[in-house]
Chain A
Amino acid sequence: MLIEFICNGQPIEVDVPADMRALDLIRDELGLTGTKCGCSKGECGACTILVNGLPECSCLLLAPKLQGRKITTIEGLEGPGRKLHPIQEAFLEEGAVQCGFCTPGMILSTKALLDRCPSPTVAEIEEGLSGNICRCTGYTKIVKAVQSAALKLNGTNL
């Protein structure tokens, strides 16, 4: 079936099988391999994308459900001139990245959190990222990165 949606600001029109997962559409058809598959069951959060600004596991979402929506993948975060998004910058600077496989999903969940809650408490950060598993970092530096990103973003908005 033919669907239309906006991906990282670009209009997309694509013919997809009705049972295709959004994850496979994004990775295999659109070539956006920054979205990762960790479990295919919505348990790890590695495949998180933003759908109309809200984090969703793209492994549990059928591609036709993207019809008429705006989605953001990790590839949509970098600014012009390869400028890192402040959240990406914060993850890098705080050492919140080790193997990096959970990172795209973690960063997108962070974006969704900071978009709706610009100065989150630690409890709010934990809630916002509770669907994203990281086996490497122990999360300490991820929490710091979210706090640092919040400061950066709030600074930009002033």
Chain B
Amino acid sequence: MKNKNLKQVGRSVLKVDGRELVTGKAKFCSDFQFSDLLHGYACRSNIAAGIIKKIETTVAENIPGVVAVILPEDILGNNIIGILPPFDQPLLADREIRYAGESYCLVIATSQKAAKAGARAIKATIEPLSPILTIDEALAEGARKIHPSGNITASKNLIKGNVEKAFSEADVIIEDTFETSNQEHAYMETETVCAIPTGDGRVTVHASCQSPFHIRGHIAANLNVPAAQVKVIQAYTGGSFGGKDDAATEIGSLAAIAALKLDHPVVIANEREESITGSSLRHASRINYRVAAKKDGTIIGKEIDILLDGGAYAAESPFVVMKALIHSAGPYKIDHVKVKSTAIYTNKTYCGAFRGFGVPQVTFACESIMDELANKLKMDPLEIRKKNALKPGDPNATSQIFQKSVGIVETIDKVAEVSDAYDLPTEDQDRYLYGTGFASMYQGISNGAEGIDVVGASVQIMQDGSALVSIGLTELGQGSRTVFAQIAAEVLGLSMDKVMVKHVDTDSVHDSGPTVASRSTTVGGMAVYKAAGEVKNSLLKMAAIMFKTEEENIVLKDNFAQLIFDDKAKIPLNEVCVAAYWTGFPLMNLSFSKAPESKYDQDTTQGNIYIAYNYGTHMMSVRIDKLTGEVKVLKHLAVHDAGKVVNPKAFEGQIEGASLTGFGLAHLEKIQYKNGVILNPNLADYAVPTIKDRIPSETISVETYNPTGPYGVKGIGEPPVSGAAASFANAVAKATGIRFKKLPITRQVILEAINRNK
């Protein structure tokens, strides 16, 4: 895995699936056309809590085009979705409604319009319950239990050292409480699936999805058939960011049930409103944060209490609880840490995975208070971060020690270098306030505490010297197919045009778990690296016979096998492949990559959790209009240690996109509720950043070599969300002199605060 002379890894090759996307030829799930296609449309609750008394379907069934109504009793299996214990979410609500937007039946018709008309004509008698809408209401003594187990979804502790002692020895103690709001994924393609009965008792489900193996399992369980009867193929997927992990299991199961019952292909395409109200959101949070420090800025202890509002069902809350817990102390060496992280049920749309997975919330709190500490000690914000930053060999909050690839100090130094050379404008100070904010963060790569982390990949080389990669992780726009192609091409000495990467097909590849946790490049890349390596061994053996030399004298390069010491002595790789085939060397390999297992104490969360961390430091400079509250981001710099960067342009794209999502979380986006009903379930009232809201992100990579990833890689998909959101909050605080403790810090909030402070 030496990084010398890399041909494909480290190069901004074009996106391998880009051509079909710019020409409109890529088939997304709604693009499949069948003459006998039926459409499903869910009937959803318009109140947040209630008991279902009666569902009348007759009027709906008589609407022209309606062919069936699927009720909970039509589900032959367990009527459960949700990928984690406590498995508390019904596919169709059969007794109790727990959030506005929850489905309780599905209408099938010959068009989506007819299906929707049918759903509107369903008469449901739902006896309303008083909804529980806030963390405090849910935790109040005697509160109604949203689930039989109560209103606490999951709770975990992290205990390192003796935090009480640290606080007793502190020179300075700072405490504050921070809040964040729900955020909607707002991928441009809503959740869509298409289920096709294949006549052999099996069902094929094409899905816009993130984790096809989760869908397969849920469909099988809800159909009450063996999983081997279900095939899931990922269609081109128009963004996911975590959101299509849960949601696709729901509509995938419903479509499969309807398709088998009616023996027709069935498509379910959520409308935008359904996508917002009826699928997961980012957890809202309330975080109490206490820091104990010495006069010189050394942080000696942190005590943190995290409450996550997870909405009506557990979904991925138990894992978000863990991730927030583990990351809340930040990328710093702190000897005494005590954290409690808890997710709470409320009668609102359930919360699940969203790019960052709990880390943006805790990073906002951590980095806001870091600046307050710097202020109190009259220290430079970067200096105090660097003073406390983890170095190789330091134990982090879970006492995990990395000897390599801990690049947080490098990211701080790089930001300092740019920051020193940057002059914040000073024009028109009567009207404008200016400020620069910083934030450091880290994010674990791999499933870590969430369980086993395995990926299967196959690589086969054809006799013409072209290769096909198959892997169980999904392309969602992040560019993973391109990265996998680059790794396979690198190992096999192929040009990029010789490598194809399949969409995930659960029939043809090992269950690779979910495509999450910024792990594709690292763990998935390793599986491709190993599979390609086995194929390469066959080719080297064959070439050695052809050259009459030893394998170690041969390299595969530029579509040739050539001698190391004489690059003019070369055989076209296709000739080697033909010979290898006819000699009987295997030309295909299925490999398996298993990340080192996490081992930690369940009570204290002390131990080894992740296989690597991405480290980052962001700088954001803003100009605020005192008259209107309008914020203009003048400069945004995102410096990350993502290990070896496989594709610099795709790396930039990940940072630019994630940063704007972080900016949206911090400044623009807010789900508004009234009595538990979302008031702004559309893209006009819910402010997804447009091109006019974009921020001028610059990206810099400080490459460290990560020994657990092929060629030293780590991941980059999620981490920038946290850095951008937290640095925005610090920039606004710097400019206004006011500490904002709740996201989003909207223009209106800023203006009101400025006016109050006058």
Residue of A nearest to B695 (CB): A138
Other-chain residue from B28, B188, B236 in contact with A44 (beta carbon distance below 8 A):
B188
Stretch of B40-48, B98-106, B599-607, B654-662 on the interface side:
B654-662
- Do residues A100 and B22 form an inter-chain contact, with CB atoms below 8 A? yes
Give the interface residue-count category, chain B.
35 or more
A55 part of interface (Cβ distance < 8 Å): no
B interface footprint on A73-102 (CB within 8 Å = 1, 0 otherwise) = 111011000001000110111110111111
**Residues of chain A within 8 A of B190, CB atoms compared:** 38
Cα-based distance from A88 to B653 in the complex (angstroms): 17
Whether B691 and A143, one on each chain, are in contact in the complex, defined by CB atoms closer than 8 angstroms, is yes
Residue from the set A43, A84, A94, A100 with the largest chain B CB neighbour count within 10 Å? A100
Residues A97 and B22 in contact in the complex (CB < 8 Å), given A137-B656, A138-B660 = yes
Name the CB-closest residue of A to B688.
Answer: A133
Query: 1/0 per residue B638-672: CB within 8 Å of A?
Result: 00000000000110110011111100000000000
Q: Do B684 and A43 touch across chains, with their CB atoms under 8 A apart? A: yes
Cα-based distance from A125 to B691 in the complex (angstroms): 9
- Give the distance to chain A from B707, nearest Cβ to Cβ, in Å: 29
B18 touches A92 (CB 8 A): yes
Whether the pair B660, A139 counts as a contact (CB closer than 8 A) is yes
* Residue pair B477, A99 in contact (C-beta under 8 Å): yes
Tell me whether A36 and B22 are in contact in the complex, defined as CB-CB below 8 angstroms, given that A43-B683, A99-B476, A134-B188 are known contacts: no
Which residue on A lies nearest to B269, using beta carbons? A37
- List the count of A-B residue pairs having beta carbons below 8 Å apart: 173
Chain A, residue nearest B19 (CB): A92
Closest chain-A Cβ to B71's Cβ sits at a distance in Å of 27
A121 interface residue (CB < 8 Å to B): no
B694 within 8 A of A: yes
- Chain B 474-510 per-residue mask, 1 if CB under 8 angstroms from chain A, else 0: 0011110000000000000000000000000000000
B189 and A36 contacting across the interface, CB-CB below 8 Å: yes
> Once the chains bind, are A104 and B239 in contact (CB under 8 Å)?
no
The A interface, classified by DSSP as helix, strand, loop or mixed, is loop
8 Å CB contacts to B: which residues of A29-76? 31-41, 43-44, 46, 73-75
Most chain B CB atoms below 10 A, which of A46, A73, A99, A134? A99
B682 neighbours in A (Cβ, 8 Å): 39, 41, 43
**Does A138 lie within 8 Å of B186, measured CB to CB?**
no
Partner of B479, one of A31, A32, A43, A98: A98
Encode contact with A along B1-35: 1 for CB under 8 Å, 0 otherwise. 00000000000101101111111111110110100
Beyond A38-B683, A100-B236, A103-B24, 7 additional contacts (C-beta under 8 Å) are A33-B33, A38-B190, A74-B24, A77-B23, A95-B649, A132-B691, A138-B694
Ordered by A's residue number, 19 sampled pairs between the chains whose C-beta atoms are within 8 Å are: A34-B24, A40-B272, A41-B684, A43-B682, A74-B24, A95-B649, A98-B239, A99-B188, A99-B189, A100-B17, A125-B691, A134-B691, A135-B185, A135-B186, A135-B187, A137-B653, A137-B656, A140-B696, A141-B649
- Chain B positions within 8 Å of A, measured between CB atoms, are 12, 14-15, 17-28, 30-31, 33, 185-190, 236-239, 241, 271-272, 476-479, 649-650, 652-653, 656-661, 682-684, 688-692, 694-697
